[in-house]
Structure 1
Amino acid sequence: MSETSRMGSGRVFPALPAHTDPEVPFAATWWGNAWIRALEETALDQARLARGRAYAREGSVDTITVAPGRVVAYVHGSRPRPYRAELRLRTLTPEDWTRFLDVVAADPAHIAALLDKDVPRSLAAAAGRAGVQLLPAGRELAPSCSCPDRGDPCKHAAALTYQTARLLDADPFVLFLMRGGEEADLLDELAHRNAQETAREALAGGGDVRIQGAGNNGPVPPAPTTPAAPTTPTAPASSPTEPTLPTEPPLSTHPAPLTGPTPLPGTLAREALAATYRPPLPPPPAPPSRPGDPPVLPATPGAPDPTALEFLVTDTAARAHAYLLTGTDPFPSAMEPWHDAVRLAASHPGLTGRRTFSRQFTELAASVDHTPKELARAAAAWRQGAEDGLATLESPWDPPAGPFDRARGALVAADLPRMTIHRNHLTNAEGTLQLRYGQDGRWYPYLSEPGGEDWWPEGEADVDPVGALAGVFEG
């Protein structure tokens, strides 16, 4: 198995259904439970684990992508935007894989068990004695998440861990893929070792050499040969008797070829082009309910950063999905770079933040000559009201008399704090709460630490100032 083949593109698993019965464990196999223990025994906060189990039982984990060294999924929490959770673990070296395959090939029962999607404890123990650790141990399982929670792990990464245990239960080759081994490559290598062993045994016994290959279901054990029955020579006594060759097994003992995929309905191109009548095209499929998740791309020397590519793919998918639903691009290409950077920071689930910023977020801010904090504040304003929300943050103005002047009276009538006026801003006496009147006629709530004058957009904009403040208090 080559090093290139081990670094495959991975497998994508659709979101698992809810696991609502709290009495039923997440894992039924010993290796699935060992995977969970690797997380639980090193977790620093049992409350976060409990919340992660609840998220997993509710089906909050989206499509799971498994690739060598990593497991990635978007996890829905209490906020509308999901967070990107990731689990990382060490991949095995080529030498590790050689020792592991030698251990498997040494016992036919181990081969049969793997083909039945089973990992005997004896196989894991034998691999361990050979220096190959299949399941994560200690703090080898490294969780991370795009959420602001610095817990180890946070509840989103914990939810992904519990759901991944269900994948391992169904198919232990998922574990081998995490360690860097593709299922097809593993089975091919086992078939190769099996064929070599069969050839050695045949040569040692002086019999025929029959090298068996691997079908779609993995390595095929060598077919036993039946000694030929003695025959009576028909030639004259003076003639040498011809040796009798062993009888070949009947053709029916060979595996039946697998059929190909079921063809899709349609018309062959040669038939359609040969006729003068062109049948109408089928109606386009309905657009999906949400954009798809980006693939997990391998880190290849000399190639672009896979995380940056994933970020751009996510944004492109969101724009394409919006175009399918509305027929127009919601974000014009003429948008200036600063506004486009703010839009990206506001819409990408992996870039949200306020006090802690990822490397991608920092690089995005630097590309438009702003600090990460400035970009985070602007992104929060964009989430309040897109370009109108950003303009309300960046451009104070003097509104005409009318709704703005009546706002203070409406706040007093609702028993809300009395506020002072400065241009289009209404601020409470403590300097912690502010309403900004936008040129789109909506009120944008802001919060700050007392006396800090560090105003951040908080909550949703509303045409009613009382409604805008009520949303902040409720949140």
Structure 2
Amino acid sequence: MTGHDSVERIFAALPPEPGRAFARSWWGRAWLKALEDTALDGRQVKAGRSHARAGAVGAVSVRPGRITALVRDRDGTAYRSDVTVQQFSAAEWDRLLDLVAERAGHIAALLDHDIPAHLAEDALAAGVELLPGIGDLEPECGCEAWDHCTHTVALCHQVARLLDEDPFVLLLMRGRGERELLDDVQARSASHAPEQAVETPPGVSALDAFAAGTGPRALPDPPPVDAPGRPLALAADTPPPPGLDIEALEFLAADAAARARRLLAEALAPGHERTPVAAGLTVSQDAVRLAAARPPGRVAARLAAGSGRDGAALTRAVRAWECGGPAALAVLEEEWAPEPEALARAGAQLAAAWEEGPAPRLRATRNRWTVVGTGAQLRYGPDGRWWPYRREGGHWLPAGPCAHDPATALAELLTEHHA
């Protein structure tokens, strides 16, 4: 216990979402993996997932060490369901917060409500298990089940949706609220900052000051950057010159402001160090990125034409982009032949996953594996990850984020197909 038990957040009940894959973020998927590894009955996990998908979970209370909700059965009976999570000790919080405060990238990620994988890896190396593992999600339910039941599994799946939107939910379970945590990180960052240089006395010549090596004075604290500013409206009484699309220009200005805000927030984080710039996007990729910002209809049509796609193809490309950026877009639009060793390894993983029953029949065409008799498909990416696809309206469309093994991606697809 850390002495912070009074912190509590209440999240309203989420509406049913029959077609939604639970846990789009990697930390949300890690949460569900801990549930699946802890629960002894796989049938209860599947039933609880369907229960959550149907909207049976009420408002969720999250506080240090515990999540709670009322979960309804199909007959209307409601049970109080709790899942307990181990809180960090004071020493574990010290190690984690010192780790975050020492790395500008970690601070910027938390400010952007993100938990990058390298933060969890660094924390684990420091002896702090940020993410739950097998046996860490302990169930308590009014139905008096001794293991995870339909109700506690449904609660965990609903919490996975909350974690996707706000990873601070996980940190609250571990014992600290968002405001307290960020204030502590900021204080520790300030203590790690270098001492200010000695001010040059007035009247000293520039040559003497340079020889003294005092350096520049410390800058004042930067202003907060909470949101991108609103670009100027470019419409005027005078008609624009021929070829100038005012609506498109205003949209590009708004996009530039949003990107500048993200870069500035990272640059202003205490202890920021310049990181290498990622390789630029192609014209086609950047058109999809812009289209994902939901531009006005005429601008979207120009983006489609400029990227060599029609409107429907651009919509499919945006859906892929939202699942995983350039990597997901390449899997949507490119077909290639994997190495035989990769296919053999994938086949073994699938066979092991269905060792207690007949495995689904797959028809493999290069890097695309279609489940015979269903509208489900797996696609293998050049980076070794598997992407779930579903056939809708005569086209194969991305069905969610990728998985590192084909069995995980396929199990989620088939569960949704039969739900």
TM-score by length of 1: 0.43
Q: Higher relative contact order at CA 8 Å, sep ≥6: structure 1 or structure 2?
A: 2
Q: Which has the larger radius of gyration?
A: 1
Of Structure 1 and Structure 2, which has the larger fraction of its residues in helix? 2
TM-score by length of 2: 0.48
